[in-house]
Amino acid sequence: MGNKKIDYIISEIIDQYAYADSSDRPWIIGFSGGKDSTVLLTLVWMALQKIRSMPQPFQLRRPVWVVCNDTLVENPIIVNYVNEVLEKIKISAREQDLPIFVKKTIPRLEDSFWVNVIGKGYPMPNNAFRWCTDKLKIKPTSKFIMDKLAEDGEAIILLGTRSAESVTRARSIKKFDIKGKRLSKHPHQANTFTYAPIKHMLLEEIWYVVNTFKSPWGADNSELFGIYSDASADDYECPTVVTSKSHSSCGQSRFGCWTCTVVKEDKSMTALVDNGFDWLKPLLVLRNELEQERNDINIRMSTRRNGTEAINQMGTYKPTYRASILRRVLQAQKEINELNIKSKTKIELITNQELIAIQVIWSRDLFFDKKVSQVYNEVFNVKLTMENKTERQEKEEQLLREACENDNDDFNLIQDLIQLQRSKTLMVKKRGLQADIENRLDTFIKKKK
């Protein structure tokens, strides 16, 4: 592939940015750090540089937002790489005086993966119940787009999709294409249009750009190629430089959440472990365990979260199983940080905010047999508490124990009832507090009989 096709795409981007559209509607690029979004941003960046260098330069008044969605359960190797790249993009855009801005989105706390699985007992996703896509990916990005629409009225989303990726992708592109028009109406988002500058590029052409074009924001593209190479489960070797269609490449590898159980096997993670990234093995082992255990009726409640009867008695995970997942996630976090001694920063599989939210949900579900802090302390051999008690609170606890005549059952009951009230305050939802208290009292009375 020569530069003629690349020059044509860049010229088209220049025309669309500066001349075909006279509005200031912002451009939004969904950036994953993968090969396609990297090439898309590269060509847009080069187009802006050309506009800047014109004899009578067009004013670069249209902002270009590079939006990266972090599901909080991404492959750690990709997370580290993308974070470094995003920082380079921010610095280089500022130094080159280009209207390129970076925005990183994350799911709301109540939508995060572990809050739903460990906290609420959602079963691991599969094709029949793929709840994760909406909560982890669509909602965070949609919120950012809605915010932009509120400011600017309309927005244009630049897509790194390509017809050559798959038959399904080709059909999707063709379905929403408007003949003779570069922009298409977004199928789901009002006042939003899509633009796919690289939709006709082939896989080998994508790798040609990655391997022969210097990154305009100063990243090392060989690192990206190396990640794909290490994650490739294909039998052939990836060439060091892809310069023609006769070369094969490792571009078929797919990256995503390390927790993904929608696919039967995580080929990219398996390939990474096989290619020397031994420290990722605890994640692969845990992911495979959770996938295999998903449909075990012994770990499932007979009801859904809303209390209705579940199909085939396969409702949410039982609280004890949720606690076992938490233990294994924390254990995996401990193991990979011990194995990955070269890493400058510790990898966090689950955040402190998620741990607090999980404890709140467990209290609301009347699960008091295990506390999050107890599981954490057992794994890391520390003595941490979920709350920093004041001297007054410690004195109150002492008085309460004395009032209960050191009866642990009575003391724990009152502590649980207090925790229930606090959980309602934290979640800003007082509704149902009386019913929760009554249920806890009923449980206590049954145990006493």
Q: What is the pLDDT of residues 334-359, one digit of tens each?
A: 999 999 877 777 899 999 999 989 99
CATH number of residue 172's parent domain: 3.40.50.620
Q: What is the pLDDT of residues 192-235, one digit of tens each?
A: 999 999 999 999 999 999 999 999 999 999 999 999 888 875 53
pLDDT of residue 412: 64
Q: Of 187, 219, 251, which residue sits at a domain end?
A: 219
For residues 301 and 306, give the distance between their C-alpha atoms in angstroms, rounded to a whole number.
12
133, part of any domain = yes
pLDDT bin (cut points 50, 70, 90) of residue 323 is: very high
Asked if residue 101 has pLDDT above 50, the reply is yes
pLDDT of residue 236: 35
120, part of any domain = yes
338, part of any domain = yes
Question: CA neighbours within 13 Å on the CB side: how many for 136?
Answer: 20
276, part of any domain = no
| Chain centroid to CA 190 | 24
Instruction: Dig out the tokens for 446 from the structure.
Output: 């049954």
62/31 same-domain check? yes
191/121 same-domain check? yes
pLDDT of residue 418: 64
Q: Are 28 and 156 in contact (CB under 8 A)?
A: yes
103 pairs with which residues across the strands?
Answer: 67
Q: Residues with Cβ < 8 Å from 254, sequence gap 6 or more? A: 267, 268
Q: What is the pLDDT of residues 33-54, one digit of tens each?
A: 999 999 999 999 999 999 988 8
For residues 170 and 193, give the distance between their C-alpha atoms in angstroms, rounded to a whole number.
18
356/414 same-domain check? no
pLDDT of residue 151: 87
311/200 same-domain check? no
pLDDT of residue 238: 42
54/150 same-domain check? yes
250, part of any domain = no
47, part of any domain = yes
* Count of structural domains within the chain: 3
pLDDT of residue 173: 45
314/203 same-domain check? no
pTM listed for this prediction = 0.79
315/405 same-domain check? no
DSSP 221: H
Q: Where are the alpha helices (DSSP H) in 56-138?
A: 76-95, 113-114, 131-132
pLDDT of residue 150: 86
Amino acid at 136: L
308/440 same-domain check? no
Asked if residue 81 has pLDDT above 70, the reply is yes
pLDDT bin (cut points 50, 70, 90) of residue 393 is: low
Q: Of 380, 410, 431, which residue sits at a domain end?
A: 380
DSSP 315: -
Closest CA to 104 of 156, 75, 66, 73: 66
Residue-number span of the structural domain to which 117 is assigned: 3-219
> What sign does the dihedral 294-297-301-302 (CA atoms) show?
positive
10/140 same-domain check? yes
Mean pLDDT of the region 67-84: 94
pLDDT of residue 179: 47
52/201 same-domain check? yes
97/30 same-domain check? yes
Average pLDDT of the residues of the chain: 83
Mean pLDDT of the region 368-391: 81
397, part of any domain = yes
Q: What is the pLDDT of residues 152-184, one digit of tens each?
A: 899 999 999 887 554 444 454 444 454 457 999
408/355 same-domain check? no
246, part of any domain = no
Residue 156 backbone zone (phi > 0: left; psi -120 to 50: alpha; other: beta) = beta
For residues 246 and 443, give the distance between their C-alpha atoms in angstroms, rounded to a whole number.
70
Q: Of 160, 192, 219, which residue sits at a domain end?
A: 219
pLDDT bin (cut points 50, 70, 90) of residue 378 is: very high
Q: By mean pLDDT, which of 136-140, 386-390, 427-431 is the weakest?
A: 427-431
